[in-house]
Amino acid sequence: MITDIESYPRDLAAQVLQGERRAIARILSLVEDGQPPAREVLANLYSHTGKAHLIGVTGPPGAGKSTLLLGLAKEFRARGKKVGIVAVDPSSPLSGGALLGDRIRMQELTADGGVFIRSMAARGHLGGLALATSDAVKILDAAGYEIIFIETVGAGQAEVEIASEAHTTMVVEAPGLGDEIQALKSGILEVGDIFVVNKSDREGAEATLSALRFMLKTEENRPSSKWQPPLIKAVATKGEGVLEIADALQKHLAYLKESGEWEERNRMRSEQEVMRILGAELLSRLRGRLEGESWAAILSQVAERKLDPYRAAEELLAELPLPSE
């Protein structure tokens, strides 16, 4: 029982470090709601993070990402790893929307405590979903989950950003999504480390495979890296391809460590995170300084075309005690 308010964040952090599931769930909710004690707890956990292999999983809605992740979680359990899954604002949340069969499989998986699955929203988090997600990942990392999957839907800018937070990015495609593949070109192709064509039991799988293979061969789509992203065929519902994907993930981890990219990606992630927090904090403090009315007044002047947005930003910035440029 926790009674002392002062020591609450420390106690909660200690329980998370022990891997206590109820404490993990509690702090995850505090993070989502943007509750102040969350920062205290995170501060106590931070030095214990940095061990987990973070894997971003992205792709169009319904491609089979969640189904694939349940299979991968089971496979990595068999390989002796603890697995965390964070589903970011999913259109079909793992808990509520998942099919009955999936729910039963989920319960089997999480029963021994070796798998932790959580859907994230960002109800009150200052920095939005991206920051809430990286907080959630840190919590699971500190709690001893060695492999953490971060599932995002789509291939837009936000998803690319969240995916690039990870050490390894896995792109899951499915047949019959020709237009999606075109959209892939614009971002995810550059950040993808492993490509999966799921639903290979469906018509059109070969066409999707060769389209992707062709795009991956086109050198200008890829950054200069020694890693050649594998393209793997899968049928998540039958567990086909899961072994190959698990092997590819472990191979990529080994590559990152050997090449020094592990440290490089970690440094980049830390920098991005601090910048995000700084941006969110500055904005929130600025809003706190201004009367609600003057903020609204300036914004309506912009809407009425009486003030241009750059000058509006200048006027708002003038409220902060910073030397202006």
Ligand X SMILES: Nc1nc2c(ncn2[C@@H]2O[C@H](COP(=O)(O)OP(=O)(O)OP(=O)(O)O)[C@@H](O)[C@H]2O)c(=O)[nH]1
Using CB under 5 A, which of the segments 25-33, 57-65, 172-180, 247-255 binds Mg ion? 57-65
CA end-to-end span of the chain, whole Å?
53
d(CA 173, CA 62): 9
Strand-pair partners of 108:
none
Give the residue with the Cβ less far from ligand X, 35 or 237.
237
d(CA 174, CA 209): 9
Decide if 127 contacts 155 (C-beta within 8 A): no
Distance of closest approach, residue 208 Cβ to ligand X, in angstroms:
12
Under the rule (CB under 6 A), what is the footprint of ligand X? 61-67, 90-92, 153, 198-199, 201-202, 235-237
Strands (E), 32-174: 53-59, 83-88, 115-120, 147-153, 168-173
The partner in contact with residue 62, picked from Mg ion, ligand X, none with C-beta cut-offs of 5 to 8 angstroms by kind, is: ligand X
Give the residue with the Cβ less far from ligand X, 48 or 233.
233
CB atoms under 10 Å from CB of 320, counted, come to 12
The partner in contact with residue 269, picked from ligand X, Mg ion, none with C-beta cut-offs of 5 to 8 angstroms by kind, is: none
For residue 112, give the 3-state DSSP assignment: coil
Distance of closest approach, residue 113 Cβ to ligand X, in angstroms:
23
- Angle (CA) 109 115 116, round 5°: 115
Sole residue written with tokens 């075109």: 182
What is the size of the binding site for Mg ion (CB under 5 A)?
A: 3
Give the residue with the Cβ less far from ligand X, 197 or 249.
197
d(CA 87, CA 109): 16
The dihedral formed by the CA atoms of 202, 208, 213 and 219, expressed in degrees to the nearest 10: -150
Distance of closest approach, residue 73 Cβ to ligand X, in angstroms:
13
Of the residues 90, 114, 192, 229, which one makes contact with Mg ion according to CB under 5 A: 90
Give the residue with the Cβ less far from ligand X, 199 or 276.
199
Distance of closest approach, residue 90 Cβ to ligand X, in angstroms:
4
Give the residue with the Cβ less far from ligand X, 30 or 184.
184
Distance of closest approach, residue 10 Cβ to ligand X, in angstroms:
36
Instruction: Please give the DSSP secondary-structure letter assigned to residue 235.
Output: B
Decide if 55 contacts 148 (C-beta within 8 A): yes
Give the residue with the Cβ less far from Mg ion, 90 or 187.
90
Give the residue with the Cβ less far from ligand X, 54 or 235.
235
Of the residues 44, 58, 66, 208, which one makes contact with Mg ion according to CB under 5 A: 66
Distance of closest approach, residue 127 Cβ to ligand X, in angstroms:
23
Using CB under 5 A, which of the segments 13-21, 65-73, 167-175, 230-238 binds Mg ion? 65-73
d(CA 166, CA 193): 11
Decide if 90 contacts 66 (C-beta within 8 A): yes
Distance of closest approach, residue 90 Cβ to Mg ion, in angstroms:
5
The partner in contact with residue 202, picked from ligand X, Mg ion, none with C-beta cut-offs of 5 to 8 angstroms by kind, is: ligand X
Instruction: List residues near Mg ion by CB under 5 A.
Output: 65-66, 90
